[in-house]
């Protein structure tokens, strides 16, 4: 990675291995600072702002404005505007209206902060930029340096020090430590060999991202031709996130133009350690954001190399984290179906009651069915009865069999990708310190938050209750159970839900087994598994039923999941009426 700094699609990427500033003067004289100023001047020129008109009265050309501002800012570190104008008369016109010039300083700072800012450090070479500063400390020190430069220059212009200081994230939003490692890939995938692997990630919450879209559309089609073979990659434009998706290893190669999606992976999928992927062929490969000018979104089963492979083109229509996450899960699910395991689009909680009894509850349903929302309500209303609650998975799991043929379940993700609109007001603020927020001011705003230890996700858990999240029926008990396999399969197989706008669908829709990420594409393979696993659950005494969350019915967005959670708690505790901790007091 030879560049020091670049801006691409609103992402500012700072290569700390090539350039790391440790003094205020170094920062202002750096290539990175010059690039930010160029970006700012270009932006205000395009918008024809008051600030641009103010600056161009001194210098007509943008490059001259940039050069002047760098010099003026460096001098303002050691002298005030009056001294500067006296010693350097050619810069005096910039100070003809101090309010306007101070606003220029503020605008440059805001331009910088509106960028999504990432630092990258190479772990393999000792270079002059990064020197010996530790990875985490480097980001902390850089943030302090940016704030110091901004405040020092602004205070010189306003003539006094501000007495209210806000310690916001002024440095980078996230940092990556990466290394070059020759991957153990089959010959057809050697085009990926030089792409650096992410070793560790640091996020500075609240991490707020904006994408071109806030919904996902359709299902991912399967292709019979390898979509990655013969492609070409510039290693300076790509990173590899080695993700553990359940017990499978997935190499996720993402374009730096989509840094937000790539970095967000760390809140959802466990980052593999080097010893877990060095000299190992992955189970899955996903290339996200390939610049081919097309709209490809294919997956491919590479039987010769025993891998699942996928490609998604760089396109504004795919600029949404759902396309990153769901393709990975599609690859995982198809591979699991091939292994005769049944993918579950749902959530699972392990509840330990005050009596010490443990209940494992799986709630299945498509996007917007109310799975995550009901689990959150169980946490809220079950405090008086629950000793411990572990959310084992919150979107995708599998059913498998142990050596005795007993049905077990495990998950894929350590985090949750939750719709903010349907959570209780205030929940997201409680989790502010570790969350990634996506398009928080739009419909279908999302929060990505880590919730589970990886060891709990991949452990094989018993199943006590297996429920379908019915968000579309207003009438009927919030919790009910099926008497036979056929009746249960009719509901689960149909996969009906009232679409909530989480995808481009609206109204009452259905998808096979409520899972368009593998079972829909492999329905013929999945159907015998469905019948076998449901018969086994009935034979083994698993309570199979429906949970009416009513999330898709207007006016029930909050009460529906609350009532569903209350019925689950009543059933597993045997209580007719629920009490709160305050009642005990």
Per residue in 474-507, pLDDT (tens digit) is 889 999 999 999 999 999 999 998 876 656 666 7
Q: Which two tokens stand for residue 41?
A: 């001047």
- Rg of the chain over Cα atoms, rounded to whole angstroms, equals 27
> Could you tell me which residue, 254 or 552, shows the higher pLDDT?
254
> What does DSSP assign to residue 542?
-
Helical pair 559-573 and 371-381, crossing angle rounded to 10 deg:
60
582: pLDDT strictly greater than 60: no
Q: State percent of the chain over pLDDT 90.
A: 75
User: Can you give the length of the chain in residues?
Assistant: 585
Q: Which two tokens stand for residue 264?
A: 């967000």
Cα separations (Å) of 397 from 167, 241, 263, 304, 409?
40, 21, 23, 27, 7
Domains and CATH numbers, the chain: 5-172 (no CATH), 177-338 (3.40.449), 342-414+451-584 (3.90.228.20)
Q: Cα separation of 265 and 244, whole Å? A: 10
129: pLDDT strictly greater than 80: no
pLDDT for the residue numbered 426? 45
> What does DSSP assign to residue 223?
-
Helix then strand count (H, E) for the chain reads: 17, 26
pLDDT for the residue numbered 420? 75
* Most confident listed range (17-21, 119-123, 246-250, 448-452): 246-250
The residue among 185, 367, 393 whose CA lies nearest residue 279 is 185
Mean pLDDT for the chain overall: 91
128: pLDDT strictly greater than 60: no
The stretch 409-432 carries a mean pLDDT of 71
Picking from 178-187, 275-284, 306-315, 545-554, which range would have the lowest pLDDT averaged per residue? 178-187
515: pLDDT strictly greater than 90: yes
pLDDT for the residue numbered 411? 97
The stretch 86-110 carries a mean pLDDT of 96
Reduced to 3 DSSP states, what percent helix, strand and coil does the chain have, rounded to the nearest 5? Answer: 40, 25, 35
Picking from 210-214, 463-467, 482-486, which range would have the lowest pLDDT averaged per residue? 210-214
The residue among 87, 86, 34, 84 whose CA lies nearest residue 64 is 34
pLDDT for the residue numbered 581? 53
Q: Are 81 and 161 in contact (CB under 8 A)?
A: no
Which pTM does this prediction carry?
Answer: 0.91
**Coil/strand/helix, residue 121:** strand
pLDDT for the residue numbered 422? 56
* Most confident listed range (4-8, 119-123, 275-279, 336-340): 336-340
Q: Cα separation of 223 and 220, whole Å? A: 10
* Confidence class for position 564, pLDDT limits 50, 70, 90: very high
* Confidence class for position 125, pLDDT limits 50, 70, 90: low
Cα separations (Å) of 5 from 11, 31, 277?
10, 7, 29
The residue among 120, 117, 159, 97 whose CA lies nearest residue 19 is 120
* Confidence class for position 428, pLDDT limits 50, 70, 90: very low
Q: Cα separation of 457 and 381, whole Å? A: 24
Query: How many other CB atoms are found less than 10 A from the CB of residue 574?
Result: 8
Q: State percent of the chain over pLDDT 70.
A: 94
pLDDT for the residue numbered 498? 85
* Confidence class for position 126, pLDDT limits 50, 70, 90: very low
Cα separations (Å) of 244 from 184, 240, 400, 401, 460?
17, 13, 18, 21, 16
Chain centroid to CA 452: 15
Picking from 22-36, 113-127, 279-293, 538-552, which range would have the lowest pLDDT averaged per residue? 113-127
The residue among 373, 379, 380, 377 whose CA lies nearest residue 395 is 373
Q: Which two tokens stand for residue 78?
A: 């050691």
* Confidence class for position 182, pLDDT limits 50, 70, 90: confident
Angle at 309 between CA 304 and CA 275, to 5 degrees: 90
pLDDT for the residue numbered 132? 42
> Could you tell me which residue, 368 or 128, shows the higher pLDDT?
368
Helical pair 98-114 and 135-158, crossing angle rounded to 10 deg:
160
């Amino acid at each position: 990675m030879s560049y020091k700094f670049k801006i691409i699609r609103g992402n500012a990427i700072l290569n700390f291995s090539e350039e790391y500033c440790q003094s205020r003067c170094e920062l202002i004289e750096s290539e990175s600072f010059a690039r930010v100023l160029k970006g700012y001047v270009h932006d205000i020129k395009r918008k024809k702002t008051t600030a641009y008109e103010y600056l161009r009265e001194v210098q007509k050309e943008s490059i001259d404005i940039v050069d002047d501002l760098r010099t003026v800012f460096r001098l303002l570190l050691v002298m005030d505007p009056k001294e500067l104008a006296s010693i350097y008369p050619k810069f005096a016109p910039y100070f003809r209206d101090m309010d306007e010039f101070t606003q220029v300083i503020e605008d440059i700072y805001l331009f910088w902060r509106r960028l999504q800012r990432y630092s990258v450090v190479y772990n393999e070479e000792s270079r002059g930029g990064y020197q010996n500063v530790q990875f985490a400390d480097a980001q902390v020190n850089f943030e302090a340096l940016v704030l110091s430069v901004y405040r020092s220059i602004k205070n010189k212009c306003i003539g006094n020090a501000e007495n209210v200081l806000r310690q916001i994230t002024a440095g980078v939003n996230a940092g990556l430590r990466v290394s070059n490692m020759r991957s153990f890939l089959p010959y057809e995938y050697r085009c990926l060999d030089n792409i650096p692997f992410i070793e560790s990630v640091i996020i500075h919450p609240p991490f707020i991202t904006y994408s071109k879209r806030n919904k996902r559309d359709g299902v991912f089609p399967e292709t019979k031709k390898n979509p990655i073979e013969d492609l070409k990659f510039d290693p300076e434009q790509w990173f590899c996130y080695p993700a553990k998706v359940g017990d499978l290893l997935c190499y996720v190669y993402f374009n730096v133009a989509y840094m937000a999606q790539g970095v967000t992976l760390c809140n959802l999928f466990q980052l593999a350690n080097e010893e877990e992927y060095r000299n190992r062929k992955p189970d899955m490969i996903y290339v996200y954001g390939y610049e081919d000018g097309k709209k490809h979104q294919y997956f491919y089963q590479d039987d010769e190399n025993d891998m699942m492979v996928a490609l998604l083109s760089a396109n504004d229509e795919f600029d949404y984290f759902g396309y990153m996450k769901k393709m990975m899960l599609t690859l995982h699910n198809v591979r699991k179906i091939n292994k005769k395991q049944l993918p579950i689009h749902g959530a699972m909680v392990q509840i330990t009651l005050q009596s010490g009894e443990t209940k494992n509850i799986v709630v299945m349903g498509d996007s917007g069915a109310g799975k995550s929302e009901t689990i959150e309500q169980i946490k809220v209303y079950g405090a008086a009865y629950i000793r411990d609650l572990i959310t084992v998975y919150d979107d995708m799991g599998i059913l498998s069999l142990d050596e005795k043929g007993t049905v077990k379940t495990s998950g894929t993700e350590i985090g949750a990708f939750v719709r903010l609109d349907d959570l209780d007001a205030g929940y997201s603020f409680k989790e502010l310190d570790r969350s990634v927020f996506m398009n928080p001011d739009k419909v279908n705003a999302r929060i990505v938050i880590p919730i589970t230890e990886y060891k709990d996700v991949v452990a094989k858990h018993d199943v006590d209750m297996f429920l379908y999240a019915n968000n579309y029926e207003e009438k009927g008990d919030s919790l009910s159970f099926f008497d036979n396999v056929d009746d249960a399969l009719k509901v689960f197989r149909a996969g009906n839900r009232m679409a909530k706008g989480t995808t481009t669908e609206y109204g009452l829709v259905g998808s096979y087994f409520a899972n368009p990420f593998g079972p829909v594409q492999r329905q013929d393979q999945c159907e015998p598994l469905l019948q076998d696993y449901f018969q086994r659950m009935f034979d083994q005494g698993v309570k199979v039923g429906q949970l009416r969350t009513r999330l898709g019915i207007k006016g029930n967005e909050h009460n529906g999941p609350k009532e569903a959670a209350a019925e689950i708690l009543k059933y597993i505790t045997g209580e007719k009426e629920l009490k709160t901790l305050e009642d005990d007091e």
